[in-house]
Amino acid sequence: MRIETDVLVIGLGPAGGAAALAAARGGVSVLAVERKKAIGVPVQCAEWIPLALGRHAQAPGVLVQAISGMESVLPSGVVVKTHAPGLMVNRAAFDQALAHAATEAGAKLELGCTLRQLDAAQRLAWLESPQGSMECRYKLLIAADGPDSSVAKLLGLPRQPVAHARQYSVSLRQPLDETRVWLSDQYPGGYAWLFPKGGVANLGVGMDKSLAPDLKTPLDRLHQRLVAEGVVGQEIHGRTGGAIPVGGLRPGLTVGHVMLVGDAGGFTHPITGAGIDAAVSSGERAGQAAVAWLNGKGNALLEFESDMRDQFESSLQRAVKRRSMLSLAAQDDLALRKGWVAFPEYFL
Ligand X SMILES: Cc1cc2nc3c(=O)[nH]c(=O)nc-3n(C[C@H](O)[C@H](O)[C@H](O)COP(=O)(O)OP(=O)(O)OC[C@H]3O[C@@H](n4cnc5c(N)ncnc54)[C@H](O)[C@@H]3O)c2cc1C
List the one residue from 26, 188, 196, 262 that touches ligand X (CB under 6 A).
Answer: 262
- 145 sits near ligand X (criterion: CB under 6 A): yes
How far, in Å, CA of 64 to CA of 252, rounded? 37
What is the DSSP secondary-structure string of 120-154? TTTTEEEEEETTEEEEEEEEEEEE---TT-HHHHH
Q: Which stretch binds ligand X (CB under 6 A): 8-16, 58-66, 72-80, 304-312?
A: 8-16
Q: Does 160 interact with ligand X (rule: CB under 6 A)?
A: no
Task: Give the binding range for ligand X (CB under 6 A) out of 27-35, 67-75, 134-142, 211-219.
Answer: 27-35
Q: State which H helix or E strand residue 272 sits in.
A: none
* Among 205, 274, 289, 342, contact with ligand X (rule: CB under 6 A): 274
Residues 195 and 47: their CA atoms lie apart, in Å, by 8
Q: Which residues contact 308 (CB under 8 A, 6 or more apart)?
A: 249, 253, 265, 267, 282, 285
In the complex, the smallest distance separating the C-beta of residue 273 from ligand X, rounded to whole angstroms, is 5
Residue nearest to ligand X (CB): 275
HSE (side-chain half, CA atoms, 13 Å) at 237: 11
Total number of residues that touch ligand X (CB under 6 A): 39
Residue among 5, 9, 14, 182 that touches ligand X (CB under 6 A): 14
Q: Shortest gap between Cβ of 298 and ligand X (angstroms)? A: 27
3-state SS class at 23: helix
Exactly one of 10, 98, 203, 246 binds ligand X (CB under 6 A); which one? 10
Give me the least distance between CB of 76 and ligand X, in Å please.
26
Q: Of residues 29-88, which lie at the interface with ligand X (CB under 6 A)?
A: 33-36, 44-49
- Asked if 36 and 112 touch (Cβ cutoff 8 Å), the reply is yes
Contacting positions for ligand X (CB under 6 A): 10-16, 33-36, 44-49, 114-115, 144-146, 150, 165, 167, 204, 241-242, 244, 262-264, 268, 273-277, 279
